[in-house]
């Protein structure tokens, strides 16, 4: 393999550019601020929250954490979201999901002002991604994929991209972003036959199925760029992706690692979105 597509330099470049724009906003009296809403103490959510807090300053973003009890009611959570909508000093909101069973998650998501929806969870944001209108934010993970490909100069225009996994959080919106960049996009999933033949024929393959080591070298061919969007844990509790890296690395031209790949770009994209939201709201 020629290239490991590490996320760190991508994230640093995004944060540095966001910081410059945040500084301009600060000169005008606007401090870009993100509200992180967390329900309960899920270790994954806590880790994500720490990551955001750690990287926010580099992007010039202030973070306010809102921590709610695991048994919070729909009404209380709804009030929290509405307060964020109405607070002119907050420009973005990141709602940790999944939410506990007593909460109607879709209903809560829809309450969020799409202008503050920096992780693309509202229908308005998804409609924007689908239409390619550019006014709403794409889910951060999907944009992290595009930013990573751009950073490493992987061409997309006229190239064949295969996305495996069709979730509303990754697969579907990422397919739309790749299409907007003029890639020929194939959307694959659990019903897809001869998946390995399809993935081997692509220039860029994105694995987003959430199954540890589901993709070994049989799925890939020489010259390909592979993005691993899976964040899983193997039988030893060690974080791993959807791609069996040891098997695949010798075959392909470039692969994003897990950890240290797309996931580490996602936070930078979210923070960048906060700065963009602050710019738009300040207009």
Per rule CB under 8 A, count of chain residues that contact its own copies: 31
Segment contacting its own copies by CB under 8 A, of 49-57, 90-98, 145-153, 179-187: 179-187
Site string for its own copies, 90-129 (x = CB under 8 A): ---------------------------------xx-xxxx
How many residues are given for the chain? Answer: 283
Q: Shortest distance, CB of residue 255 to its own copies, whole angstroms?
A: 23
Kindly give the pairing relationship between strand 239-240 and strand 232-233: antiparallel
* Residue 168 binds to its own copies (criterion: CB under 8 A): yes
Q: What part of residues 39-98 is at the interface with its own copies (CB under 8 A)?
A: none
Identify which of residues 183 and 245 has a Cβ nearer to its own copies in the complex. Answer: 183
Q: Shortest distance, CB of residue 245 to its own copies, whole angstroms?
A: 25
Nearest to 114 by CA among 144, 132, 138, 142: 138
**DSSP annotation string for the chain:** --EE--SHHHHHHHHHHHHHHHHHHHHTT---EEEEEEES--HHHHHHHHHHHHHHGGGT-EEEEEEE-TT--HHHHHHHHHHHHH-TT--EEEE-SSPPTTS-HHHHHHHS-GGG-TT--SHHHHHHHHHT-SSSPPPHHHHHHHHHHHHTT---TT-EEEEE---TTTHHHHHHHHHHTT-EEEEE-TT-SSHHHHHHT-SEEEE-S--TT-B-GGG--TT-EEEE---EE-TTS-EE-SB-HHHHTTTSSEE--SSSSHHHHHHHHHHHHHHHHHHHHH-
* Residue 188 binds to its own copies (criterion: CB under 8 A): yes
* Residue 27 binds to its own copies (criterion: CB under 8 A): no
Segment contacting its own copies by CB under 8 A, of 63-71, 75-83, 180-188, 251-259: 180-188
Both structure tokens of 237? 């509790």
Identify which of residues 186 and 267 has a Cβ nearer to its own copies in the complex. Answer: 186
Q: Which of 91, 147, 172, 273 binds its own copies (CB under 8 A)?
A: 172
Q: What part of residues 189-248 is at the interface with its own copies (CB under 8 A)?
A: 189, 191-193, 198
Q: Shortest distance, CB of residue 173 to its own copies, whole angstroms?
A: 8
Site string for its own copies, 132-161 (x = CB under 8 A): x------------------------xxxx-
Q: Which of 51, 74, 184, 276 binds its own copies (CB under 8 A)?
A: 184
Identify which of residues 185 and 274 has a Cβ nearer to its own copies in the complex. Answer: 185
Instruction: Provide the binding-site residues for its own copies, judged by CB under 8 A.
Output: 123-124, 126-132, 157-160, 166, 168, 172, 175-176, 179, 182-189, 191-193, 198
């Amino acid at each position: 393999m020629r290239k490991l597509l590490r996320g760190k330099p991508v994230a640093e470049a995004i944060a540095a550019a966001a910081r410059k724009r945040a500084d301009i906003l600060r000169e005008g009296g606007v401090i870009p601020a993100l509200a992180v809403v967390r329900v309960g103490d899920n270790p994954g959510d806590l880790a994500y929250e720490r990551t955001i807090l750690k990287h926010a300053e580099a992007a010039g973003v202030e973070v306010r954490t809102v921590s709610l009890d695991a048994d919070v009611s729909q009404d209380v959570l709804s009030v929290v979201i509405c307060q964020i909508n109405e607070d002119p000093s907050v420009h973005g909101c990141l709602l940790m999901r999944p939410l506990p069973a007593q909460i109607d998650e879709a209903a809560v998501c829809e309450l969020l002002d799409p202008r503050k929806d920096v992780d693309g969870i509202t229908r308005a944001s998804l409609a924007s991604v689908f239409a390619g209108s550019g006014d709403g934010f794409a889910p951060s993970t999907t944009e992290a994929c595009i930013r990573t490909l751009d950073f490493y100069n992987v061409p997309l225009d006229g190239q064949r991209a295969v996305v495996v996994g069709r979730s509303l959080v990754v697969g579907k919106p990422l397919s739309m972003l790749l299409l907007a960049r003029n890639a020929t996009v194939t959307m694959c999933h659990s019903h897809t036959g001869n998946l390995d033949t399809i993935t081997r024929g692509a220039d860029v393959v994105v694995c987003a199925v959430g199954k540890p080591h589901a993709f070994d070298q049989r799925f890939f061919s020489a010259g390909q760029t592979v993005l691993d969007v899976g964040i899983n844990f193997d039988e030893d509790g060690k974080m791993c992706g959807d791609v069996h890296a040891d098997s695949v690395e010798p075959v392909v031209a470039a692969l994003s690692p897990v950890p240290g790949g797309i996931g580490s770009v996602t936070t930078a994209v979210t923070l960048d979105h906060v700065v963009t939201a602050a710019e738009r709201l300040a207009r």
